[in-house]
Amino acid sequence: MAEELRLGIGGPFHRVERAARLEPLHRQLVVATGVAWAPLIVLAAIESLVGRNEPLLRDLSIHARLLIALPLFLVAERVLDHSCRVTVARLFEEGFIGDAQRPRMLAILRAVERWRDSRWPETVLLAGAVVAGIGALSGWTAPAGVIHGVSQSRYSVVRVWYALVSLPLSQFIFGRVLFRWGLWIRVLCGLARVPLRLVPWHADRRGGIGFLKIPSFSYCAIVLFAVSSTLCAGWSTKILHEGATIEMFRPLFYAFVLFGAVLAFAPLLAFVPQLIGARLRGRREFGALVTAYGRAFGERWLGGDRPGLLGTPDIQSLSDLSSSYRENVDGMMPFLFTARDAVALFVASQLPAIPLLLTQLPAREVLSRILRLVSGGIPG
């Protein structure tokens, strides 16, 4: 199908997955966990039998990265693939892309697919992930996470496996997640320059294209939850083993949440000019309709002999027109997202912080903060 966009397929790594029959999501989740996390536990158990203690596995962020974040990244890719495919299909099926603009939109989709299928982006991501793992093993960077325990050997089998297999795999998948999101941003930026056939009186009060926010919200909510889980697990490790306090991480955490909101919703701001233009056009065109109907209503019912009003639909039609103008046209929003969407994204990124809060705050206060989150408030 020419109008279809698939961001979850393509690239050399996908071809490897297909050759290995790992395309089903459940197989990817099992293999990723089995390769990245399970060997660490087995190797640590073997080392403990010979009297070696590996402090690396006391770092909670490692377990969160491999058991929570890595699987969620794989899920997020499938969510992005499905939501973007449906969104692009709706643009064509519901007539927002006119016949004159169809070749231009198809050219944007084909350009994005060429980037998706190129071997260079994923090759660079994989090389960077491997270099980062080697750097962690050799001591150029922190060994992993935040734990600073002293191992009997920098090159223990646990650390070698983590640095050369687990860490590169998780970082590569995370890099691919960001790359595919960048492809969707490219689609949105190109689409924003295409004159869309917006409907100013559409019930969604966004010209009918309110569904464009679905990939932004669903995908970024999963990614933010995954990254937040790793961050909070690392900070919990610092609190438990190094005596840190939760107040030390508050500014960084809120900066992360703000960055996530910008990453999710900033691309949608490209549609503000078209939405404002559609609102002005709707006020003019629909306003003219309301005026013409109101004038005809007055001439029929308010002048000369007045026929019986009982049972006539004219008054109801006048009321419906007025309500449509007030709620849909005059109330049309210049943004595709709402404050409620931002709060929901904030809540998704805050949920992994609950265990972190429980390490230092009473359960009653944690519950109070959760209730403020659910009600749309910002915790203090």
Q: Over the stretch 252-288, which tens digit does the pLDDT of each residue have?
A: 888 888 898 899 999 999 999 999 999 999 889 888 8
Q: What is the DSSP letter of 378?
A: P
Any domain includes 329: no
> Does residue 379 belong to any structural domain of this protein?
no
Cα–Cα–Cα angle for 264, 73, 35, rounded to 5 degrees: 165
How far is it, in rounded angstroms, from Cα 188 to Cα 209?
Answer: 12
Q: Is residue 328 part of a domain?
A: no
What tens digit of pLDDT does each residue of 69-85 get? 999 999 999 999 999 99
Per the domain annotation, does 1 fall within a domain? no
- 368 falls within a domain: yes
Is residue 359's pLDDT more than 80? no
Lowest-pLDDT range of 114-118, 235-239, 264-268, 296-300:
296-300
- Find the domain containing 245 and state its range: 12-278+336-374
What pLDDT does residue 147 have?
Answer: 37
Q: 56 and 62 in contact (C-beta within 8 Å)?
A: yes
Return contacts of 294-300, CB within 8 angstroms, 24+ apart: 294/318
pTM: 0.86
The verdict on residue 101 lying in a domain is: yes
Instruction: Look at residue 283 and tell me if it is in a domain.
Output: no
Work out the burial of residue 248: count CB atoms within 10 Å of its CB; fewer than 13 is exposed, 13-18 middle, 19 or more buried. Answer: exposed
Does residue 298 lie within any of the structural domains?
A: no
What is the count of structural domains for the chain? Answer: 1
User: Whole-angstrom Cα distance, residue 268 to residue 217?
Assistant: 11
Containing 279, the helix (H) or strand (E) segment is: helix 272-301
Residue 316, judged by CB atoms within 10 A of its CB (0-12, 13-18, 19+), counts as exposed
Do residues 71 and 32 touch, judged by C-beta distance below 8 A? yes
Two tokens at 38? 């399970």
* pLDDT on residue 363: 54
